[in-house]
A and B are shown apart, each in its own frame.
Chain A
Amino acid sequence: MLRTIWIMWLCELKKFSRSRSRIIGSLGQPILFLLALGYGLGGVFQAAGQGSYLQFLAPGVIGMAIIFTSIFNGVQIIWDRRFGFLKETLVAPVSRVAIMLGRTFGGATVATLQGCIVFVLTLAFGFHPYSWAFVIPAILVMFLTASLFSAFGITVASFVTDMQGFQLVLNFLVMPMFFLSGALFPLTHIPLLLRVLATIDPLSYGVDGMRALLINAPHFGIATDVTVLLAIMIAFLSIGSYRFTKLEF
């Protein structure tokens, strides 16, 4: 069981370390957000008495990198069952749960590394964490968030089998989860409906957890963030594993 998880995890990491284009490609969107929003809205934000928008935005942009990378990873796992090497692992005499856990945590580790790269990028844009001691725990929150959305991606993809369905997922799940999460705006002084949506959005807690640790400005509080992230991650891991063991062709 552990041996299977380990080798699947290791393969994901090996592949990531080799794909320079993937690493560079994933930086485009964060740069755009930091530039257009971070600098573009910075003045207005400051004038409204909310402090530096770049400081506020940076954890949100890290969250963005993580949610996109991990959901695509999850979806990729299921898609691979027809063409990729997943099929080869499904006829191996090992537990499917182990395969799914190895791929999930492998993908989550990759997403976390991307998150770290974006973190370094935000430093270049002028972001500064309020305490360097909390950067490590912030990375743990990134990993937790990444695992949650990898498992989420697997669960959703196991119900969706075609291109059109995938577009649907992107437009009606991933985009809203990002934009409604409070990655881009503070969750105070917003209409009730938006507040309700942000409260049920798991990404809100990931971004808030990072904000708590990186700029010491939490909304829900780090304890709530970690508890919610853990609970939802376990829920999706369970559903995802169940769906994965029942996977047919």
Chain B
Amino acid sequence: MPNIIEVNDLKKTFGSVEAVKGISFSVPQGATFAFLGPNGAGKSTTIKMLTTLLRPTSGTILIDDHDPARDPDAVRRVFGIVFQDPSLDEDLTAWENMELHGVLYGISRGTRRARISELLAFVEIDDRRDSYVREFSGGMKRRLEIARGLLHHPKIIFLDEPTLGLDPQTRKRMWDHLGMLREREGITIFFTTHYMDEADRNAETIAIIDHGSIVASGTGEDLKRQTRKESLEDAFLELTGHDIREEGASGLDHLRMMHRMRGR
């Protein structure tokens, strides 16, 4: 299988801080790839660079043979994304959120309607299509975001901690959906998570990033063998150490607080 994501010596510095220090990796088409690391290791920064939201300081990225820095719109058509923080418009209905996405991606009216109906049925929220998103549970919002991310038939779907805050039932349901999708469409799945069992169970390839560098990569079995540990969780701790990463409370945290308090 050819590689759909190719990253070479990718760097990102913010002022004097090197958030990503020259990482290289590739993801074959149709694979499920887990990108793991402690908080502040450089995961989100890397995803932002892959998805055209942040410009790399140096290094190259190829997404389906397009460079996000040079041809962002070509890259944007190739992927769908579920962000870590919810990005639905809560004051619109499920259907309207999907509709908006379809219009922005230039999908014609007839195709749009058919695909929205089909996808809402696929994630099992078709009976709530005309409800406002603010009335949805966390799990329903996640499923709607996944459905939305798939609307323009992307080749890759990025999921940034998609199961954060979901109960085991909902998590399992979500991965069942994603598994079906892989079989049906051969879509490439790129995800991050803090649940090691989730990575071990679902990903063919895992890369672990820490302090801005990739410290290990391979299958779950590879990583366990390499570290001589029984579980991926232990292997992860062996590779990234036991220190708890203290992130200073940033302006972003305050905003996130406010946002939660407003109940959105």
Contacts and interface: CB of A to CB of B under 8 A. Distances in A.
B91 interface: yes
B91 A83 contact: no
Contact of A83 (B100, B105, B259): B259
Interface in A51-90: 79, 82-90
A4 interface: yes
Given A85-B97, A87-B87, A92-B104, A161 B92 contact: no
Interface string A6-17: 010001001100
Contacts of A94: 73, 104
A163 interface: yes
A4 B104 contact: yes
A89 B104 contact: yes
A163 B79 CA distance: 33
Give the interface size class of chain B.
35 or more
Interface residues of A, number: 27
A94 B83 CA distance: 19
A93 B255 contact: no
Contacts of B55: 248
A67 B55 CA distance: 35
A11 B100 contact: yes
Contact of B53 (A3, A7, A14, A90): A90
A131 interface: no
Contact of A84 (B48, B72, B89, B251): B89
Interface string B69-85: 00011101101010101
B119 to A, nearest CB: 15
Contacts of B251: 161-163
B105 A88 contact: no
B223 interface: no
Given A11-B96, A15-B89, A83-B87, 19 more contacts: A3-B106, A7-B103, A7-B104, A11-B89, A11-B92, A14-B92, A82-B255, A83-B86, A84-B87, A87-B53, A88-B148, A91-B52, A91-B53, A91-B79, A92-B101, A93-B73, A94-B73, A162-B251, A162-B254
14 contacts: A3-B103, A15-B89, A15-B91, A83-B87, A83-B255, A84-B264, A87-B87, A88-B83, A88-B87, A88-B148, A90-B53, A91-B51, A93-B76, A248-B55
Interface of B: 48, 51-55, 72-74, 76-77, 79, 81, 83, 85-89, 91-92, 96-97, 100-101, 103-106, 148, 251-252, 254-256, 258-259, 264
